[in-house]
Amino acid sequence: MYLYQKTFLLLCTAFAFPLFSQDLKLNQILELAEKKADLILAGQKKVEEAEYLKRKAGKYKNPNLSLDYGRRRASNESGPEYSVGISQDFYYPGKRDLKIKIADDNEKYLLAELEQSKLEYRFSVIKLVYSYLIATEKAAHVNDRIKRISRIESLIEKKVFVSPESRVELFLVQNRLLNLQKHLIVLEKNKSIEWEKLNFFLELKSEVLIISPWLKSHTPFKKDLLLAEMFERNPILRLSKSKIQQWKDETELAKLDKFSDIKLQGSLGEDKSGVANRFFDLGVTFAIPSLDTNEDVVKSLQAKTNSENYLLNHQIKILTTRLNSSLIENESIHKSLDRFSIGMIPSIEQKLNFADNEFSKGRIGLISYLELETQLHETHEAIYDYQMQFVENLTEILFLTNNPDFLGVVNVK
């Protein structure tokens, strides 16, 4: 049993502290992830496509050229007849501008969609970075616990006189080691899984050393200011507003669609079937809106616009509730961070070293040592759990207000 534990300890140490050939800071990771983001690249191409369609929407149709040739017979005389004609379609006044505006609305919608994708992508990577870092810290901490408890086991085994109490203490320590080894296996698995999730965005061949600051505090949020920023900049609301504007412009275009485009045409020709006659024609063609006034289409688009307005109001209520809830949670997390600051980690190490030293000198009993070790472990877990809660809460608030500057908000640039 003892040999197995020592071997396991060496293996755990090797896996807990891998050698990295590269290190990346958070900003570098975010830049790398965005460059390799197929979803973002696809969104950029959609915007590019919309830009070309907007250019196309403002162009006039090509003119039509016609050439006619034939023979005409009149009064027993025949001769050739030929003509050349040209026609040009013109938009009904106002239609061209509306078509350009609708294409512009579509481009703005896709830009808002791209902006939302970038924010979601960015904050997903940030959360995964901290999930991976925290999983690494927890695994390293449990690995350190195993080493400490193994030293306690060695001290007990070296006792000259083995009493029943010493044997029970040894059993307690060995059982604690077994549970810690089991826990470490789970933590190492979690760490590997978190890396795989993060590497989905990075596409690296092996793990790298990630450097990102632990969070301490940020400038207190002002609720009214955040709500105003959310109403103005939130990508979800911008998507809805862009779509509403597009439907409004579609409605205005539908009102004009009852008037057809205007065609101007002219032709020049000559008839030589008798006395040579030359002719010149000019004409205009347009539809009379007497049977179909397009009112049904207009009313349909108006109903669609009203529907989108109701959905926008619903989204505003949902997002307002999300932001208010996140701000309440933010205050609670801040109180917890004051008590479970990342700055407590060195003091945990100092307390454990003190307990190690005192136990080796026989000044404290095993039960007291194990109880302190357990409580300090729980504190260590809580510190990093609050770090993750803080990251998740902060990214939610920043997403709702369309603020990509994560490090700037937590004052760790």
Residues with Cβ within 8 Å of 281's Cβ and at least 6 positions away in sequence, in order, are: 85, 265, 266, 267, 268
- Domain topology for 2-59+93-259+293-409: Outer membrane efflux proteins (OEP) (1.20.1600)
Over its C-alpha atoms, the chain yields an Rg (Å, rounded) of 38
For residues 177-181, average pLDDT: 95
**Per-residue pLDDT for 241 more than 80?**
yes
pLDDT digits (tens, 9 = 90+) for 303-312: 999 999 999 9
What confidence score (pLDDT) does residue 8 get?
Answer: 40
pLDDT digits (tens, 9 = 90+) for 4-61: 334 343 344 444 445 555 789 999 999 999 998 999 999 999 999 999 998 888 788 8
pLDDT digits (tens, 9 = 90+) for 325-351: 999 999 999 889 889 999 999 999 999
What confidence score (pLDDT) does residue 324 get?
Answer: 96
CA distance 202 to 126: 12
Lowest mean pLDDT among 49-63, 125-139, 196-210, 225-239: 49-63
How sure is the predictor about 166, in pLDDT bands with cuts at 50, 70 and 90?
confident
Decide if 149 contacts 229 (C-beta within 8 A): no
pLDDT digits (tens, 9 = 90+) for 123-140: 999 999 999 999 999 999
Is pLDDT larger for residue 270 or for residue 320? 320
What confidence score (pLDDT) does residue 59 get?
Answer: 85
For residues 270-295, average pLDDT: 77
**Per-residue pLDDT for 365 more than 60?**
yes
Q: Counting beta carbons within 10 angstroms of the beta carbon of residue 341, is it exposed (0 to 12), middle (13 to 18) or buried (19 or more)?
A: middle
The residue extents of the domains of the chain are: 2-59+93-259+293-409
For residues 194-202, average pLDDT: 95
- Chain mean pLDDT for the chain: 87
CA distance 90 to 108: 27
- Phi, psi of 383, rounded to the nearest 5 degrees: -60, -45
- Phi, psi of 25, rounded to the nearest 5 degrees: -85, 165
Report the half-sphere exposure of 200 (CA within 13 A, side-chain side). 13
Burial code of 53-66, b = ≥16 C-beta within 10 A, e = fewer? Answer: ebeebeeeeeeeee
**Per-residue pLDDT for 177 more than 60?**
yes
How sure is the predictor about 388, in pLDDT bands with cuts at 50, 70 and 90?
very high
pTM of the shown model: 0.83
**Per-residue pLDDT for 282 more than 70?**
yes
pLDDT digits (tens, 9 = 90+) for 67-114: 888 777 766 777 778 788 888 888 888 888 999 999 999 999 999 999
The greatest distance separating any two alpha carbons of the chain, rounded to the nearest whole angstrom, comes to 144
For residue 121, give the nearest of 288, 235, 210, 263 by alpha carbon.
235
